[in-house]
Amino acid sequence: MMDMIDTKFSRAVALAVACAFGLSSAAAIADDYSNLRESAMSSQQASASEASSSASSTAVSAAAETVAAIDPASGMPEIKYELGKQPLKEHPGGASNEATAKNFPISKGLAGVSMFLKPGALRELHWHANAAEWAYVIKGHCRVTVIDPQGHHEIKDFGPGDVWYFPRGHGHSIQGLGNEECHFMLVFDSGYFSEFATFSVSDWLAQTPPSVLSKNFGMPESSFKTFPKKEVYISQGPVPPPLPQDPEPGSDNPPPLTHRFRLGAKAPVVTPGGTFNLVDQRQFPISTTMSGAILKMKPYAMRQLHWHPNADEWQYYIKGRAKMTVFGSQGRSITREFGPGDVGYVPMGCGHYLETVGNEECEVLAVFNSGTYEEISLTEWLTKTPERLLETNFGVAPKIINELQKGPPIFSNPEKSK
């Protein structure tokens, strides 16, 4: 009975959201049903994996907070999730927490994980069945290994400002390097992804009878006695040695498209109000389903009114504070203030802008679920629209329209906003 009420309620909420974003209700209902199924499946997987690991050293101190789907004051979906304040799932050598559509309902198109690895700690060999992985290193260093379906194997070291991208299903591992903890954000192109329900090799081997492993690897069954009996997820080991400068002849088999992009080393677009540094598949050809950018906004600056025609935007606030307002049509908008550790979300097509709060620079990671970055700036649109049309549209004097058309398209000049 409760299930029926919940389902009806979810459908009503989905319809309200669909209307707010101008989706057709039939499509919305179909999406809603498949989303509910996926959501239920992933939560079952997550609770199953939590149950199976509860007897080990793995511990979750408290449940992650779930935010309301709809903000009652604005009638808009909630756009803020305080990921940094959520309990971390602790493992030997590492820890992580996540924002998914389960605890942050608006984030249907993208999910994110904040992960910490101590030097030598290994996020084990694994892959993802339902999402590609786009990552940004905030602090420290790590080594990533990845295999593609053509058998190419790549090993690369990453540091602050570096990005990796693994197409859906490519096998990979991540290990902390150096002498400080490594912190990186993982972003996935499905909101129903859970980092705690991935395909880990230790889990698979533990699930497979020793007789089968014996046949598969051509080794005696007894060889598998000491293998883990359940998923390892993260294990603490020694820091690996430096990568060889000149690999042995014939030992190197790198893929034609590298999984690493050094975003921090790329020159950003510089404006008086801040900088915008973008990587999409035009610079990083393997990243066909995702793109990302680092925005650095000066005090008093604003990221001007714009929208993305082809993607949702998932944000992680790294430094400083900013307010974001998202416009949802039908006279509705929602404003939230964000600080370090917070996650923001803008559904595809919704107009939005950001304003720096306080006198500190604000740094934001923005990730999109499209390999090609697209935006339409309101200022640019108005600049290209005939004045007479705008006079009719707004019913205001030509002098005002003339001023309206002069603004810069990315960040406003902070001096003007003081």
Q: Phi, psi at residue 386, to the nearest 5°?
A: -55, 140
Residues 6+ apart with CB under 8 A from 249: none
* Closest separation in Å from C-beta 353 to Mn ion: 8
Binding-site ranges for Mn ion (CB under 5 A):
133, 313
Q: Which is nearer to Mn ion, 280 or 313 (CB)?
A: 313
* Closest separation in Å from C-beta 57 to Mn ion: 21
Helix (H, G, I), strand (E, B) or coil at 339: coil
First-last CA distance in the chain: 56
Annotated active-site positions, please? Answer: 123, 126, 128, 133, 172, 195
* Closest separation in Å from C-beta 292 to Mn ion: 11
- Retrieve residue 136's tokens: 């940004």
Distance of CA 23 to the CA centre of its chain: 24
Q: Return the CA Rg of the chain.
A: 23
Residues 6+ apart with CB under 8 A from 197: 42, 45, 46, 49
* Closest separation in Å from C-beta 197 to Mn ion: 11
What are the E-state strand segments in 150-297? 153-158, 162-166, 171-177, 182-188, 199-200, 234-236, 260-262, 269-271, 274-279, 291-297
Q: Which is nearer to Mn ion, 28 or 142 (CB)?
A: 142
Q: Which is nearer to Mn ion, 344 or 414 (CB)?
A: 344
H-helix or E-strand spanning residue 398: helix 398-404
* Closest separation in Å from C-beta 284 to Mn ion: 18
Q: Which is nearer to Mn ion, 53 or 173 (CB)?
A: 173
Query: 2-20 vs 25-53: helix axis angle to the nearest 10?
Result: 130
